[in-house]
Amino acid sequence: MFRFLIAVLSAVALSAPASAQESELGKIRDEIRQLKQQYEQRIQALEKRLADTEVKAGKAVAAASKAEHSAASAETTATAAAAAPAAPASDRGESAFNPAVSLILQGTFARDSQDPNSYRLNGFMPSGGEVGPPKRSFSLGETELNISANIDPYFRGVAIASLAPEGGVNVEEAYFQTLALPKGFTVKGGRFFSGLGYLNEQHQHAWDFQDAPLAYKAFLGNQFRQNGLQLKWVAPTDLFIELAAEAGAGDNFPGSDRNKNGVGGYALLGHVGGDIGDSYAWRAGASYLKTSPNARTYQDVDTLGNPVINAFSGSAKLWVADGVLKWAPNGNATDHNFKLQGEYFRFMQDGALNYNDTAGSAVFGQVTGPFNATQTGWYAQSTWQFMPAWRVGYRYDRLNFGSVNNGIVTGGTGPTANDFPVLSNYSPTRNSVMVDWSPTEFSRIRLQLASDKSRLGATDNQAIVQYIYSLGAHGAHKF
């Protein structure tokens, strides 16, 4: 009996610590279970945040893809990128000192029924910069060298040089542009293609046809460049709104080198644009250019075929209205897209014209009289990408002689209208069609056919094969 009691007491004594230990273990298990629940809840919350963020990011990417094909989004994005401060040089490493460099190679094979060396636009004062059709047979086109980089967090620099086939270098653009101005403002200074109209700001290799419309040749000397400053503002709105003002030397046609202090010409321009659904984008605008040419000269011949030098001084004003509509199914222009664009020009000159035949027959010597003219021109074109890499296009150009008052002729005491053959009452027209193949974004081969009636009494039937190759880092083209 005694031994049994001892055994029972011993079992109780041994079981007491075991029960205490089991209770402690239970508490630990409960704490672990609670921690697991807490972490599972946190993980679920984080996974939900991740899923929500991915959905938002997907929507942002879709919106950006759509915006890529819209005027408003494309221009606003570009301006916002320009306005944002660049990363400090220390963050960008050695690549900060390596500017983007690109080279554009161009060439043609041309067949013309009229001599391209005698090209002219009858009815309009020559600008001295009219670019006629390419020379016959094989020829090298303009080679363009582009160097650009962010200078620091506040400025960007761009230099674009044109290498002429015959030799020599022409600085097409060389400008700085601000990166950090607030409220959607940017300032550009140096030499740059003016933002007036639609096509003027684009480089030739980005055009849909090999050459510029007739109105650009007659009223802008092919393309108008400013040596000056541009202030641009893009509104922070869903509708794309862009306003800009330019002030420059005014030394390019329709102006001239005045050799005077101050501003020789200025331009005002505005554009609006946006999307129509998922597949359409549009942009429209109006521009105004004023210059003050001084002795802007051009060559002509008198009735005997002797050389004459005419010089215009006064004011030249140009109004431009432009519009473009683009279509791509659901904003995806890879397989199919369509573009319709056009511009209307109204050109006014008021001043004095000096007639000088002293280099030739000297029948009249130098005669000066009032001169004023209001002339117009326009073009409309469309391009259709009917399958990947292949496009076709059509363009119609027209210039209207308008109202021209040559005081030297109407005065009746000197040269007659026959002594101003370039200013004959004539309205040039042209029809052009093209088909091009672009296997990649870096190469294009184009065939262009045109019936050009720029010259009085002559039709130039043209056939041009053009190649365009882009080497290096080349930025996206404008809308």
Q: How far, CA to CA in Å, does 12 sit from each of 16, 26, 146, 366?
A: 6, 21, 95, 137
Residues 322 and 197: beta-carbon distance below 8 Å: yes
Average pLDDT, the chain: 84
Q: Which two tokens stand for residue 289?
A: 């250019």
Query: Are 470 and 104 within 8 A, CB to CB?
Result: yes
| Residue whose structure tokens are 């109204």 | 346
Average pLDDT over residues 392-403: 97
Q: Could you read off the pLDDT of 67-101 as tens digits, one per residue?
A: 444 444 444 333 433 334 444 444 444 445 578 99
Q: Phi first, then psi: what are they for 55, rounded to 5°?
A: -65, -45
111: CB partners within 8 A, 6+ apart: 136, 462, 463, 464
Kindly indicate the confidence band of residue 255, based on its pLDDT and cuts at 50, 70 and 90: very high
Asked if residue 254 has a cis previous peptide bond (ω within 30° of 0), the answer is yes
CATH classification code of 74-472? 2.40.160.10
The pLDDT score that the predictor gives to residue 8 is: 39
Cα atoms found within 13 Å of the Cα of residue 55, Cβ hemisphere only:
6
Query: How much is the average pLDDT of 457-473?
Result: 93
* Higher local confidence (pLDDT), 19 or 397: 397
Q: Tens of pLDDT along 188-236? A: 999 999 999 999 999 999 999 999 999 999 999 999 999 999 999 999 9
DSSP state of 401: E
Calpha distance 416→446 (Å, rounded):
45
Residues 6+ apart with CB under 8 A from 440: none
- 132-154 pLDDT, tens digit per residue, is 889 899 999 889 999 999 999 99
469 has a pLDDT exceeding 80: yes
